[in-house]
Structure 1
Amino acid sequence: MENQTVNEGKTMAIISYITIIGTIIAFIMNSSKKNSFASFHIRQMIGIFLLSMINKYLIYDFLGSTAGWIVGVIIFVFWIIGFIGAVKGEEKLVPAVGEHFQNWFQGI
């Protein structure tokens, strides 16, 4: 990835990992002048957020708190991997599902 693209999108990429509100702010900031690096991380964070909602409303309710806690730890590790990638200026896919997030949300 081009260094200038990373530098221009790094702030938006980092902001996207600060709760869903940060993701919305980064999405709005990125909508006027598309930056591929920021878009990559926004897509990753939207996917991580959706996983956390599935965990909260489905796994905890139907499989129990232990399963929900385990999945929650895995989602937190995904968040850390994405956040560190944004800080380092890397397009690091979240394990197992990151490629799907890029395909599902490619309009962003």
Structure 2
Amino acid sequence: MDHNTIEQGKTMAIISYVTLIGTLAAYFMNRNQKNEFATFHIGQALRAWITGIIVSFIAALLIMFTGISALSYLQYAGLILAIIGAINAMNGKVEKIPLVGNIG
């Protein structure tokens, strides 16, 4: 991937990590342009937000059944993955997010 492609797709890549709505907005903005850098980060952002939703649901169930309130910190997993991905996008890196970057 060349430097020009990265610079052109950087804004959409960063937007994709700003909530799930930002991911959808970046997806629709990128449909016509087909920027490779933005496409990569949109996929990574989608993985981060879906992971966050799933882990939050599981954490809520575990808290409900076990009563261990410290498990509520697991609900920040999607946000942490999105922050890591956004930092990579800002720096122009094509690196997968930890744990779930290879899924799909």
TM-score normalised by the chain length of structure 1: 0.82
SS at match of 1:99: coil
| Alignment-mate amino acid for residue 54 of structure 1 | I
Gaps of 5+ in 1: none
Per the alignment, residue 84 of structure 2 pairs with 81
| Corresponding pairs, count | 99
Quote the offset at 1:79 in angstroms: 1.7
Give structure 1 regions of 4+ aligned residues with deviation exceeding 6 angstroms: none
Counterpart in 2 of 1:96?
99
Q: Which position in structure 1 is the counterpart of 2:39?
A: 39
Summarize deviations over 1:7-30 as a string: whole Å, max 9, x none: 111010011011111111100011
State yes or no: 1:18 paired with 2:18.
Answer: yes
* C-alpha distance in 1 between matches for 2:25 and 2:76: 25
Is 1:66 aligned to 2:61, yes or no?
Answer: no
Equivalent position amino acid for 1:86 in 2? A
Contact 1:16 1:42 in 2 (8 A): yes
Structure 2 unaligned blocks of 5 or more: 64-68
Cα-Cα RMSD:
1.5
Structure 1 pair 68/54, CA: closer, same or farther in 2 (3 Å)? farther
Give, as a single letter, the amino acid of the residue that structure 2 aligns with 1:95: P
User: Based on CA coordinates, which of the two structures has the bigger radius of gyration?
Assistant: 2
